[in-house]
Amino acid sequence: MRKSSAKRKSAAAASRAGDDESARGRLLSAATHLFCKDGINATGIDAIINEAGTAKTTLYKLFGSKTNLVHAVLESEGKQWREWFIGAIEAGGGDAEKKLSRIFPALKSWFGEERFYGCPFINAVAEHDKDQKQFRNIAMKHKKVVLAHIERLATEMGAAEPEVLAHQLALLIDGAIVAAMVSRNPGVADMAGLAACSLFGPSKAKKPKRASGAAAQLVAV
């Protein structure tokens, strides 16, 4: 399946780079894909090593256990996602309000990806013991970083209550992610974006010309 003559970067150098071709990188991206698509508990070690094209020994030498692999996946995927998300709303400049208005268009393009499977952190919490803090703490840590960035922008924008606005936007983001995972309709991001406009305050609302544009796409939600 995988050609054995593949060039190999020095393992330490290209650690978690996304297109990492080392055994570690291949295992991480295979595990990320399968955990997100099928769920963590439903994904066996054999499926991961098959997709990664590595041997079982390699996985256990590099990660020690499935549990460690799960944590490594969440850490690397969380980092990559946050870099993408913050980059997507910051790139292009403009004032804080302009940046906040890029949140839901960015999410929409994510929802439209073939390999969009929802938020790995929410999903991880959903399929584990909810009386234990393990995964909930990891998820909250991730969400706090995102929230902090949004709150900074809300403050910069001069919102009356930046903390409140940021939390409300976060609720819309989570709601949109979940709705998109269930319905597979990227259009929910438009709906959430429209709701966000209402939150910015009636005075400074910059809604699209046709406010019902988002609703037109809600064929099957």
Partner DNA sequence: TGGAGGATACCGAACGGTCTGTTTTCTGCA
Partner DNA sequence: TGCAGAAAACAGACCGTTCGGTATCCTCCA
170 closest CA partner among 144, 188, 190: 144
Site for its own copies in 39-98 (CB under 8 A): 39-42
What residue has token string 């996304």? 18
Output phi, psi for 95, to 5 deg.
Answer: -80, 175
If binding is defined by CB under 8 A, does position 188 make contact with its own copies? Answer: yes
Residue type, 154: A
Q: How far is the CB of 54 from its own copies (least distance, A)?
A: 23
CA-to-CA distance for 124 and 35, rounded, in angstroms? 9
State the binding partner of 65 from its own copies, DNA, none, CB within 5 to 8 A by kind: DNA
Exactly one of 61, 79, 130, 204 binds its own copies (CB under 8 A); that residue is 130
CA-to-CA distance for 124 and 128, rounded, in angstroms? 7
Q: How far is the CB of 136 from DNA (least distance, A)?
A: 21
State the binding partner of 50 from its own copies, DNA, none, CB within 5 to 8 A by kind: none
Exactly one of 17, 18, 37, 44 binds DNA (CB under 7 A); that residue is 44
If binding is defined by CB under 7 A, does position 47 make contact with DNA? Answer: yes
Exactly one of 13, 19, 57, 206 binds DNA (CB under 7 A); that residue is 57
State the binding partner of 90 from DNA, its own copies, none, CB within 5 to 8 A by kind: none
Neighbours of 69 (CB within 10 A): 22
Residue 153 region, left (φ>0) first, then alpha (ψ -120 to 50), else beta? alpha
By CB under 7 A, which span of 16-24, 142-150, 162-170, 174-182 interacts with DNA? Answer: 16-24
Q: How far is the CB of 61 from DNA (least distance, A)?
A: 6
What residue has token string 């698509």? 37
By CB under 8 A, which span of 13-21, 64-72, 105-113, 211-219 interacts with its own copies? Answer: 211-219
CA distances for 106 relative to 21, 34, 85, 173, 210, angstroms: 28, 24, 7, 11, 20
CA-to-CA distance for 129 and 133, rounded, in angstroms? 8
Residue type, 1: M
CA-to-CA distance for 183 and 220, rounded, in angstroms? 7
The footprint of its own copies (CB under 8 A) covers 36-42, 117-118, 121-123, 125-131, 136, 139-140, 143, 147, 161, 163-164, 167-168, 170-176, 178-179, 181-184, 188, 191-192, 194-195, 198-199, 202, 211-212, 214-215, 218, 220-221
